[in-house]
Chain A
Amino acid sequence: MSPVIRVENLGKKYTLRHQQRDQYTAMRDVITDGIKAFARKLIHPFQVSTEPSPTSEDFWALKDVSFDVSQGDRIGIIGRNGAGKSTLLKILSRITEPTTGCVRIKGRVASLLEVGTGFHPELTGRENIFLNGAILGMGRAEIRKKFDEIVDFAEIEKFLDTPVKRYSSGMYVRLAFAVAAHLEPEILIVDEVLAVGDSQFQKKCLGKMEDVSAKDGRTVLFVSHNMGAVRNLCTSAILLADGRTISKGKVDCTIEGYLQTIWLESAETNGPLAVNNSFGIVLDSFHILNANGMPTVALESGKRGSFQFCLSCQIPYEHCLVSITVDTIDDVRVFALHNAVSGFDVALRPPGTIIRCTIPCVSLVPGRYRINFKLRISEDVIFFLPRAFELQVEDGDFFGTGRMPENSWGGLVLVEQDWSTFPFK
């Protein structure tokens, strides 16, 4: 059987402009540049300007990407930020044109690069269902037919005629996803849309997506950073890096390869970890400290552990907000540490301040974790470093019994427990 999607040598080139002050071109610049070029020509009429303009540079967001997708395949597209995943989806959903290559598609395509695209806050839930449905490519009759089902799925009957700006964010996402989940295309292209919403609803959506694709033989292309979701939903995966396909194949192997590359890259760090020039704040180092206060790569469960950040600054900053969140390697958030919740005020003093957060008893199940770091000063995000650091947790004597739960029992955290028995009657 011939593939339903055939991608051949796909490439997308962007021209990057350096020294650009604004996001967009102002005509002022175009005119002045034009005049400059013209003047240069007048002065040196015979000099052919062959050198490329120093302010721009070509950047290939995608290069020579080829793959085939057969009907009913559920393909995960993974890779780091900037690997070209979103560009690929944008080309497949025809939002932007490729620079080279071509894509052939058989069947009706619906792409879901965002939930609630085109939702208008002033319109009611009912109106938005129709609007959003039309934007996603449903006809009026089709929407009307599925209307009740959509409302049921979103669980918002009572608020149908309320403007969505008064919805809670959970309701908003539920409604938005409910519309999307009732699309009936042959090919569904989904970007990281599940990052929003509570985990229970995420599961419901994943379940819905899974059963539509398994039941009707629907083809799904799914981009996500959440390896757990990719593993659950997809049958195979494509790994992109720097706009090229690195590997494709069974989902488990591809994910393993991806995690390996991240692991290797995070090991080689030197120099400051992050710099914020506009505030003059530098994140010099990060350390995980063990129970004895010594830098380490691995913590032991049941023991004390600390995260320590060294920040240098030029002027003092008061009331900083520091958050350290810990995710599993599959991107499931395990917990969040935040100085505000423990009522601790963080101030930065020049030349530098060390921030240390200590966990008296590490209660994570042994395994690999990732640490995200965020520093805010009032409304400004100084650093936001997702998946910046790795944390290894090793077997420790958490329960004081010398025993640990088996790996196969599952679970993310260790919980202290008291058991007792009583005779009855």
Chain B
Amino acid sequence: MSDGYDLIIEPGGGIRRYWRDLWKYRELFFFLAWRDILVRYKQTAIGIAWSVIRPLLTMVVFSIVFGALAGLPSNGVPYPIMVYAAMLPWQFFANSLSESSNSLIDNANLLTKVYFPRLIVPAGSVIVSLVDFFISMVILFGIMAWYRYLPDIRMLLLPFFLVLAFLASFGAGLWLSALNVKYRDFRYVVPFLVQFGLYISPVGFSSAIVPEKWRMIYFLNPMVGVIDGFRWAILGDAFPVYWPGLALSACFTLLLFVGGLFYFRNMERSFADVI
């Protein structure tokens, strides 16, 4: 049917070609991520230090408010380490969310002038946040060295939880970026969501303080599973994982991601027309 034609443009488009294109445009993906990283701290006086200062200050505040003032338990682990271990995935999630939700609109001039699989744009934002994540990770090791705190073999499971965090961030990012193109309301929803999420996720405290009967519902928040996993992998037995809850969180994350992918693909063809 193709008679030697390389490209057939018709309503609906081809799904198979889309994934092939995604691979073909991988260089553009790297270039966009590279651009965002380069541009991020241009004309700032302290540059990359910002990605260190933000989580560090939040950690200090949380340690004082929840640890020292409210006196919440930390199971024998220094409170700053407990907070920072959760801060890592949370910052990654929050940054990805705010960056990717605006990413399509920020790149509107690209979207209306060139073709590429639009998935590249929010994916690039998540990758940029991932770079920040790795920088913050180095700080964690610094803090742990300061408190002479040694992680055990479980640390090797951290990548698994990182993947979970990535899927949650990317999934939510896909939903929000696509929704934001159509309904600009989400521009205002996202900062609120991020702020709100910081308090309903167990960042400043341990999820163990949530009453037993609410536990399962609490784990519907995909970040609860991720944060508990991070704490468990970094801090060991002091923070046992509630496995059914983690499984629920993981399932929900997967659902968020797959749903986001489908929704994004569905909305994608009209982006150039509505943006």
Query: 1/0 contact trace for B82-118 toward A, CB 8 Å?
Result: 0000000000000000000000000101111111100
Is B182 an interface residue, CB under 8 A from the partner? yes
Contact B113 A98 (CB under 8 A): no
Report if A105-B110 is in contact (Cβ < 8 Å); known contacts: A97-B269, A123-B39.
Answer: no
Alpha-carbon distance between A401 and B5 when the two chains are bound, in angstroms? 64
Nearest-Cβ distance from residue A94 to partner chain B, whole angstroms: 4
Alpha-carbon distance between A212 and B113 when the two chains are bound, in angstroms? 23
Alpha-carbon distance between A135 and B113 when the two chains are bound, in angstroms? 10
Q: Which of A63-71, A112-120, A290-298, A358-366 lies on the face that meets chain B? A: A112-120
Contact B4 A14 (CB under 8 A): no
Contact partners of A26 in chain B: CB under 8 A:
183-185
Report if A102-B4 is in contact (Cβ < 8 Å); known contacts: A25-B182, A95-B114, A117-B110.
Answer: no
Contact B6 A92 (CB under 8 A): no
Contact A131 B31 (CB under 8 A): yes
Contact partners of A140 in chain B: CB under 8 A:
27
Contact partners of B9 in chain A: CB under 8 A:
91-92, 94, 97-98, 102-105
Is A328 an interface residue, CB under 8 A from the partner? no
Alpha-carbon distance between A14 and B272 when the two chains are bound, in angstroms? 12
Contact A135 B43 (CB under 8 A): no
Report if A103-B272 is in contact (Cβ < 8 Å); known contacts: A28-B185, A117-B113.
Answer: no
Interface residues of A in 345-385 (CB under 8 A from B): none
Is A30 an interface residue, CB under 8 A from the partner? yes
User: Which among A108, A118, A122 is the interface contact of B109 at CB below 8 angstroms?
Assistant: A118
Is A24 an interface residue, CB under 8 A from the partner? yes
User: Which among A97, A123, A136 is the interface contact of B35 at CB below 8 angstroms?
Assistant: A123
Alpha-carbon distance between A113 and B114 when the two chains are bound, in angstroms? 8
Contact partners of B11 in chain A: CB under 8 A:
97-101
Nearest-Cβ distance from residue B177 to partner chain A, whole angstroms: 14
Contact partners of B31 in chain A: CB under 8 A:
130-131, 134-135
Contact B10 A103 (CB under 8 A): yes
Alpha-carbon distance between A8 and B187 when the two chains are bound, in angstroms? 40
User: Which among B10, B43, B111, B184 is the interface contact of A24 at CB below 8 angstroms?
Assistant: B184
Report if A95-B274 is in contact (Cβ < 8 Å); known contacts: A25-B182, A100-B11.
Answer: no
Nearest-Cβ distance from residue B17 to partner chain A, whole angstroms: 10
User: Which among A14, A30, A102, A122 is the interface contact of B42 at CB below 8 angstroms?
Assistant: A122
Report if A103-B4 is in contact (Cβ < 8 Å); known contacts: A24-B183, A135-B114.
Answer: no
User: Which among B6, B28, B115, B273 is the interface contact of A134 at CB below 8 angstroms?
Assistant: B28
Contact partners of A14 in chain B: CB under 8 A:
273
Is A90 an interface residue, CB under 8 A from the partner? yes
Alpha-carbon distance between A135 and B25 when the two chains are bound, in angstroms? 9
Nearest-Cβ distance from residue B20 to partner chain A, whole angstroms: 13
Is A226 an interface residue, CB under 8 A from the partner? no
Report if A96-B10 is in contact (Cβ < 8 Å); known contacts: A25-B183, A117-B114, A140-B27.
Answer: no
Contact B5 A106 (CB under 8 A): yes
Alpha-carbon distance between A139 and B26 when the two chains are bound, in angstroms? 10
Query: 1/0 contact trace for A123-153 toward B, CB 8 Å?
Result: 1000100110011110110000000000000
Nearest-Cβ distance from residue B192 to partner chain A, whole angstroms: 14
Nearest-Cβ distance from residue A93 to partner chain B, whole angstroms: 6
Contact partners of A90 in chain B: CB under 8 A:
112, 272
Alpha-carbon distance between A6 and B273 when the two chains are bound, in angstroms? 24
Is B7 an interface residue, CB under 8 A from the partner? yes
Contact A95 B113 (CB under 8 A): yes
What interface size band does chain B fall in?
A: 35 or more
Contact partners of A101 in chain B: CB under 8 A:
10-11
Q: Which residue among B27, B116, B185 has the maximum number of chain A CB atoms within 10 Å of its CB?
A: B27
Contact partners of A107 in chain B: CB under 8 A:
6
Contact A122 B43 (CB under 8 A): yes
Contact partners of A96 in chain B: CB under 8 A:
269, 272-273
Q: Which residue of A lies closest to B36 (CB)?
A: A120
Is B38 an interface residue, CB under 8 A from the partner? yes
Is A2 an interface residue, CB under 8 A from the partner? yes
Alpha-carbon distance between A97 and B8 when the two chains are bound, in angstroms? 11
Contact B269 A105 (CB under 8 A): no
Alpha-carbon distance between A24 and B185 when the two chains are bound, in angstroms? 10
Is A111 an interface residue, CB under 8 A from the partner? yes
Is B71 an interface residue, CB under 8 A from the partner? no
Is A43 an interface residue, CB under 8 A from the partner? no
Is A27 an interface residue, CB under 8 A from the partner? yes
Is B76 an interface residue, CB under 8 A from the partner? no
Contact B113 A30 (CB under 8 A): no
Is A178 an interface residue, CB under 8 A from the partner? no
Is B47 an interface residue, CB under 8 A from the partner? no
Contact partners of A28 in chain B: CB under 8 A:
185
Is A109 an interface residue, CB under 8 A from the partner? yes
Nearest-Cβ distance from residue B268 to partner chain A, whole angstroms: 10
Q: Which residue of B lies closest to A119 (CB)?
A: B109
Contact partners of B116 in chain A: CB under 8 A:
135
Query: 1/0 contact trace for B180-207 toward A, CB 8 Å?
Result: 0011110000000000000000000000
Is B13 an interface residue, CB under 8 A from the partner? yes
Report if A102-B8 is in contact (Cβ < 8 Å); known contacts: A95-B112, A111-B115, A117-B113.
Answer: yes
Report if A134-B39 is in contact (Cβ < 8 Å); known contacts: A14-B273, A107-B6, A117-B109.
Answer: no
Contact B5 A105 (CB under 8 A): yes
Nearest-Cβ distance from residue A176 to partner chain B, whole angstroms: 12
6 sample A-B contacts, Cβ–Cβ < 8 Å, listed by A number? A95-B112, A100-B11, A105-B7, A106-B7, A107-B6, A122-B39
16 further interface pairs, Cβ-Cβ under 8 Å (given A93-B114, A113-B114, A123-B35): A2-B4, A6-B5, A14-B273, A92-B9, A95-B112, A95-B113, A102-B8, A102-B9, A102-B10, A105-B9, A106-B4, A106-B5, A114-B109, A117-B109, A118-B109, A135-B31
4 closest Cβ pairs, A-B complex: A94-B115, A102-B10, A104-B5, A134-B31
